[in-house]
A and B are shown apart, each in its own frame.
Chain A
Amino acid sequence: MNFTPPLLAPAYPEIFLLMALSALLLLDLVVPDNRRFLTYAYSQLALVATGVLLVGGATGHVFSTFGGMFLDDPLARSLKVVALLAMALVLAYSRTYNQRHGLFRGEFYVLTLFALLGIMVMISANHFLVLYLGLELLSLSTCALIALQRDSSVATEAAMKYFVLAALASGLLLYGLSMLYGATGSLYMPQVANAIASGVADPAILVLGLVTRRAGLSFKLGVVPFHMWVPDVYEGAPTAVTLFVSTVPKIAAFAFFVRMLVGTLSPMVSDWQSMLVIVSVLSMLVGNVTAIAQTNVKRMLAYSTISHMGFLLLGILSGTVGGFAAAMFYVVAYVLMSLGAFGLILLLGREGFEVNSLDDLKGLNKRSPWYAFMMLLVMISMAGIPVSVGFFAKLSVLSAVLDAGMTWLVVFAVLMSLIGAFYYLRVIKLMYMDEPSDISPLVAEADHRILMGLNGMAILVLGIVPQPLIDLCMFSVTRSLGSG
C-alpha cells in the first residue's frame, strides 16, 4: 500500500506541547511539595515555547496534514495564540489561590495543559473524528479539574453534573455525526461539504443530524436550553477552575461552531440560521434576566456568560464573513473580560474563604482603588458601554446582523444589553458607594498586580483603538474561510 509519512511541521506546536506535558508528568514526580513552584514555572515556560513555535511557524497560508485531518490556517493560528495567552493568564492568576486552597499540585497543571491540547486539536480539526476526540480530551480534563478539590462536596456535585451532561452531549453529537456519515459517506469536512453541495445526500437525514449535533455543541458553549450546568459548575468548582472553564474552552467552542457550520454545512445555512436565532434569543433573555436575581457573584457571572454566548452566536448566524470576524472579535473580548472578572474574585479570596456573595465586593474602592478601577473597566466592558472593548464587540456583531437584514433581532439584542447593564452597574455601585464590611487592605503578589493592570488596560486600549484586533480577525477569517 502507498503511504507517505505526514508532514509534521504544521503540527509542531501540538507535538511540542504533548512532549512538554509528558515531561511535566515525570518532572512532577521528583519535585518535592515545597518546591512546587518549579512545576508552575515549567508549565508557563512550556506555554511560552509553544507560543513561540506557533507565531514563528505562521505563514498566513492554509496547510493540511495527517491525510487532511489536521488543518493549519491563519484562523487556527490566531485562535491558538489567544488560547495560549489566556491559559498563561489563568495559570498566573490562579497561582496564589491554588497555594491557599491546596490545589498547588502537579495534577492541576497537567490537566489544564491537557485541556489546552484538546482545545488546540479542536481548533485545527478538519475531520469529525478528530474534532470529537479533541472535545473529549477537553471535557475529560475539565471534569477532573472541577472535581480536583476532593473533599468539597459542592465541587464533587458540580463535577458530577458536568460529567453526566457532557456524556449526554457527546452522545448527541456522535449521533449527529453518524447521521452525517450515513448521508455523505465521509467524515472529512471538505468531502462532507462537497457531498452536501452536490445534493447527493438525503436532506432529511442531514437536518436530523444537524439538530442533534447542534444540541451537543450548544452544551459546550453553554447556551439555552443546554445551559443548566453553567451556574452550578461556576459556583461549585474551585474559583481557579471556574476561571479556566469560563475562558479558554469558549475559544474552542467558537472554533467548533465555525468549522462545523461554516466550513462544512454552509450550503445548509438557511437550516441552521433559524435554529441559531432561537438559541441566541433565548440565551440573551434567560441569561440577562436571571442574572439580575443572583446574589452570588459567580452565579451572576455564569448567567452573564450565557448571555454573552448568545451574542456570540449572533455573529455566527449572520452567515457572512464579516459576521464570523465579528464573532471572533467577540470571543477574544469576552475572554479578556472574563479573565479580569474572575482574576479579581480570585484575589479577594483568602485562606479557606472564597468570595461568593456580591456583598463581598462592597466598598472595594476603599480597600484598593486600583483593583476597584480594574473591576470597573471589566464591568463597563461587559455591559457594552463605549470606550471599552466590549462596546466594539457588541457593535461589530450587531452591525453584521443588521447587514444580514434581521433588524428585529438587533433591536431585541440592544434591549437585552440594556437589561444586562443593570446588574453590571450594580456591581460598580457596590464597589464605589457602599461601605465595606471588611476594611483590611488587599494584598497581592507583584505578578498578579501587574497582570491585572495589563488585563484592564487591554480592555481600555482595545476599546479606544480596536482596529488592529478587528483587522487580525478579518484577516484570519477571510484567509481561512473567505473562499468557502
Chain B
Amino acid sequence: MTDLTPLVFSAFGLVLLASAVGVIVARNPVHAVLFLVLAFFTGAGLWMMLEAEFLAITLVLVYVGAVMVLFLFVVMMLNVDLDRLREGFWKYFPVGAVVALIMVVEMVLVVSSRQFSTLGLDGLPAPASYSNTRELGLQLYTNYVYPFELAAVILLVAIVAAIALTLRKRKDSRYVDPSAQVRVKAADRIRVVSMPAEKDPS
C-alpha cells in the first residue's frame, strides 16, 4: 500500500492556496469571508496531519465557529461600497508590490537561515497513545499555572475595562423590568369591585 500522506498534503495545500487567493479576489465580501472559512478548515486539516490536533480543533472551534460568524454578521450588516474601495487600486499597486517583494525576500532569508534549520525537525512519529491535547493541558496546569492564572486576570481586567468604558445608563430609554413583572400580583392588575346586582330595566 502506498503512502497517501504526500497526496493528502498536496490536496489540502492546493485547496488552502486557492481559497487564500479567493479571499482577496472575490468581488463579493460575503464570498471572501466564506473563502476564509475554507482556508481555516484546510489549515486545520494540515495541522491535523502534523499531529497537532488541539490546535486544529481550536482553529475550527474558535475561528470558524465564533470569529468568522461574527465577521460574516458584520460584513452582511455593513453595506460596503465595493466600487469606492477598488478606486485607488492602481495608485497603491506599486507600494503594495514593493512591500510584498520585501516580505517574500524576508521569508526566503528566514526559512533558509541556519538559525531555523534545526527547529522542529527532530520529531519522530509519536506513539499512537500520545495525545497532544493532554500534553498541552498538563504543561498549562502544572508548570505554567502561574502565567496561566495571570492571563486569566488580564482577561478579567479587559472585561472590567470594557464595561467601565462603554456602559451608559440611559434613563430615557423604555425598557421592561422582568423582576417587577414577575412580582406582580393579580390585585395589582385587576380591581374587583363589588356592587349590587342590577335588575334589567325592561
Contact B161 A143 (CB under 8 A): yes
Interface residue? B160 (CB, 8 A): yes
Contact B151 A133 (CB under 8 A): yes
Interface residue? A458 (CB, 8 A): no
Contact A144 B146 (CB under 8 A): no
Contact A66 B145 (CB under 8 A): yes
Give the shortest distance, in Å, between B154 (CB) and chain A (any CB): 5
Give the shortest distance, in Å, between A155 (CB) and chain B (any CB): 11
Contact A130 B146 (CB under 8 A): yes
Which residue on chain A has the smallest CB distance to residue B161?
Answer: A144
Interface residue? A91 (CB, 8 A): no
Residues of the A chain whose Cβ atoms lie less than 8 Å from the Cβ of B146: 6, 66-67, 69-70, 130
Give the shortest distance, in Å, between B134 (CB) and chain A (any CB): 10
What mask results when residues 123 to 154 of chain B are scored 1 for a CB within 8 Å of chain A, else 0?
A: 00000000000000010001101110011011
What mask results when residues 112 to 134 of chain A are scored 1 for a CB within 8 Å of chain B, else 0?
A: 00100100010000010110011
| Bound complex: CA A69 to CA B142 (Å) | 12
Residues of the A chain whose Cβ atoms lie less than 8 Å from the Cβ of B150: 121, 130, 133-134, 137
Contact A148 B157 (CB under 8 A): no
Interface residue? A436 (CB, 8 A): no
Contact B145 A110 (CB under 8 A): no
Main SS of chain B's interface residues? helix
Give the shortest distance, in Å, between B153 (CB) and chain A (any CB): 6
What mask results when residues 55 to 73 of chain A are scored 1 for a CB within 8 Å of chain B, else 0?
A: 0000000000011011000
**Total count of chain A residues near the partner, CB < 8 A:** 33
Contact B147 A110 (CB under 8 A): no
What mask results when residues 134 to 156 of chain A are scored 1 for a CB within 8 Å of chain B, else 0?
A: 10110011011001101000000
Interface residue? A228 (CB, 8 A): no
Residues of the B chain whose Cβ atoms lie less than 8 Å from the Cβ of A182: 115
Residues of the B chain whose Cβ atoms lie less than 8 Å from the Cβ of A141: 157, 161
| Bound complex: CA A129 to CA B172 (Å) | 47
Interface residue? A353 (CB, 8 A): no
Interface residue? A18 (CB, 8 A): yes
| Bound complex: CA A67 to CA B157 (Å) | 26
Residues of the A chain whose Cβ atoms lie less than 8 Å from the Cβ of B153: 18, 114, 117, 137
What mask results when residues 218 to 238 of chain A are scored 1 for a CB within 8 Å of chain B, else 0?
A: 000000000000000000000
A69-B147 in contact given A111-B160, A136-B154 (Cβ < 8 Å): yes
Interface residue? B7 (CB, 8 A): no
| Bound complex: CA A93 to CA B146 (Å) | 33
Residues of the B chain whose Cβ atoms lie less than 8 Å from the Cβ of A150: 165
Interface residue? A107 (CB, 8 A): yes
Contact B165 A148 (CB under 8 A): yes
Interface residue? A25 (CB, 8 A): yes
Which residue on chain A has the smallest CB distance to residue B148?
Answer: A133
Contact B164 A107 (CB under 8 A): yes
Interface residue? A408 (CB, 8 A): no
Which residue on chain B has the smallest CB distance to residue A117?
Answer: B153
Contact A147 B147 (CB under 8 A): no
Q: Which of B143, B151, B160 has the most CB of A within 10 A?
A: B160
| Bound complex: CA A214 to CA B145 (Å) | 28
Interface residue? B80 (CB, 8 A): no
Residues of the A chain whose Cβ atoms lie less than 8 Å from the Cβ of B142: 1, 3
Give the shortest distance, in Å, between A442 (CB) and chain B (any CB): 32
Residues of the A chain whose Cβ atoms lie less than 8 Å from the Cβ of B115: 182, 202, 205
What mask results when residues 86 to 125 of chain B are scored 1 for a CB within 8 Å of chain A, else 0?
A: 0000000000000000000000000000010000000000
Interface residue? B67 (CB, 8 A): no
A130-B146, A133-B147, A205-B115 given; 17 more Cβ-contact pairs under 8 Å = A1-B142, A3-B138, A3-B142, A6-B145, A6-B146, A66-B145, A69-B146, A110-B160, A111-B164, A114-B156, A127-B147, A134-B150, A137-B153, A137-B157, A140-B161, A144-B160, A148-B165
- Interface pairs (18), CB distance under 8 Å: A18-B153, A25-B160, A66-B145, A66-B146, A67-B146, A105-B164, A110-B160, A117-B153, A133-B150, A133-B151, A133-B154, A137-B150, A137-B153, A137-B154, A141-B157, A144-B157, A147-B165, A182-B115
